[in-house]
Amino acid sequence: MNMESPRGAASAPHGKVIELSKEGHRLLKEKRFREACALFEEALTLEPHNPYILTGFGDALRSLKNFPAAERCYREVLDNDPNNLFALRGLGDTYRGQRQTDKALELWERYIRFRPRDIFVMTRIADAHKTIGDHRRAEECYRQALGIDREDRYALMGLADLYQKMGEDEQAIRHYEKVLAKSPRMINILTIVGNLHWHRGEQEKAREYYERTLQIESHNSYALYGMGNYYRWRREFERAIEYWERILERDRGTVNMLTRLADAYRNTGKIEKAENLYRENLERGYDKFSLLGMAKVHVLRGDNDKVLERYRELMAKEEEDGWFFTEIIGKYGDERRLEALRFYHGARDLHREKPEVCRRLAEQVEKLQLAME
């Protein structure tokens, strides 16, 4: 009689485990995480302490953001083998997913001692140091990662972002440019570099990057906003309106963008459109620039009581250093000096218990060469 040997019988379940493991890891690579979990669970009923199955199961659970269950899998492996690299890396990523940066760092640092050229984990370590504010150590780690591969996209982007956070815009641009040299169609990097040039006062360079973005993605709201700002800077308000209105074709728009659009309407004589947008913004909540814009609309309409009313609302929230007053009174122009003077008296009465503010308002009036009583 052909009978299976005890050894053969014992190896049969292990063969099944290997089969389930291979299929589970294949599904994991294909991002079919729930199906992978089912196979790993089945394999664990046959070999409940198999580290390869446990780490695979942990990876699948982590990908599904079931962090507590993933942690249990990795912990079981590390209890038996404290230096298991798959579990160290996986548990570090699990803590990262839960924003427990310190715990993640401890595990990745243990891992990297065994795999010092793992650029992925080295970049993770750099990111973590950046997150906790240790910028010097973060820079060192990014440099180590780039020592492994000087063109690694994630290390370059991480280092560029670090320099941006540190206010070193020139260094940030230089490293973002290295990313764009390999991946010129990365929309987010193009807009970031455009914004960095804008902050440096390099408006024409900024425009180039916003235009490059729009050639790839014609309705990118960040680039459209940037182009609107560019034409606002040039005082070509109709062109600014054109770009900002394109944002509203697909998006509700931010309070800041809507205020700038309303300002552009006001500057081009579209008073009703401007007023409607300011009002819409103020319905969302308090916004000093929308309230200031409404005051300027009232000036243009000759609603002097409402001008002072809006100014009072502003002063209930803001400290006056002369800027708000100057912004409003300057809209009256030379031909409306009497109305401007009435506004000055109203503002002065509002601040009568603040002599320093009254002095500043008087200085602004003198600069505007208004007749003083």
Residues 89 and 20 occupy one common structural domain: yes
**99 and 42 fall within a common domain:** yes
Long-range contacts of residues 165-169, Cβ cutoff 8 Å, at least 24 apart: 165/130, 165/135, 166/135, 169/196, 169/199, 169/200
Report yes or no on 103 lying in a domain. Answer: yes
- Whether 25 and 50 share a structural domain: yes
The residue from 133, 162, 183 where one domain ends is 183
Minimum mean pLDDT among 1-5, 26-30, 35-39, 349-353: which range? 1-5
What CATH number is associated with residue 162?
A: 1.25.40.10
Q: Are residues 109 and 120 in the same domain?
A: no
Q: Is residue 35 part of a domain?
A: yes
In a domain, 98, yes or no: yes
pLDDT tens string 240-272: 999 999 999 999 889 999 999 999 999 999 999
- Same domain membership, residue 121 and residue 44: no
104 & 58 share domain: yes
Q: Say yes or no: 81 and 43 in one domain.
A: yes
**Which residue, of 65, 96, 113, is where some domain finishes?**
113
Q: Does residue 141 fall inside a structural domain?
A: yes
What residues contact residue 21 under an 8 Å CB cut-off, 6+ apart?
39, 40, 43, 50, 52, 53, 56
Q: Is residue 313 part of a domain?
A: no
**What's the count of helices (H) and strands (E) in the chain, helices before strands?**
21, 0
- Print the domain residue range for 146: 116-183
pLDDT class of 373 with cuts at 50, 70, 90: very low
Residues 40 and 98 in one domain: yes
Mean pLDDT in residue range 217-233: 97
Looking at the fold, whether 29 and 96 belong to one and the same domain comes out as yes
Q: Which amino acid type is present at position 310? A: R
More confident residue, 169 or 4: 169
- Specify if 154 maps to a domain: yes
| 131 and 109 within one domain | no
pLDDT tens, position by position, 190-213: 999 999 999 999 999 999 999 999
How would you label 211-233 residue by residue, b for 16+ Cβ within 10 Å and e otherwise?
ebbbeeeeebbbbbbbbbbbbbe
| Distance of alpha carbon 323 from alpha carbon 321, whole angstroms | 6
Does residue 163 fall inside a structural domain? yes
Is 357 inside any structural domain? Answer: no
CB neighbour list of residue 340: distance below 8 Å, 6 or more residues apart = 329, 332, 368, 370
Residue 49 and residue 79 in one domain = yes
Q: Which phi and psi (to 5°) does residue 172 adopt?
A: -60, -45
| Count of domains observed in the chain | 2
64 and 94 part of one domain: yes
**pLDDT at position 36, please?**
96
Residue 3: phi, psi to the nearest 5? -105, 145
Give me the pLDDT at residue 5, please.
44
Q: How far apart are CA 227 and CA 210, in angstroms?
A: 6
The domain boundary residue, chosen from 150, 183, 216: 183
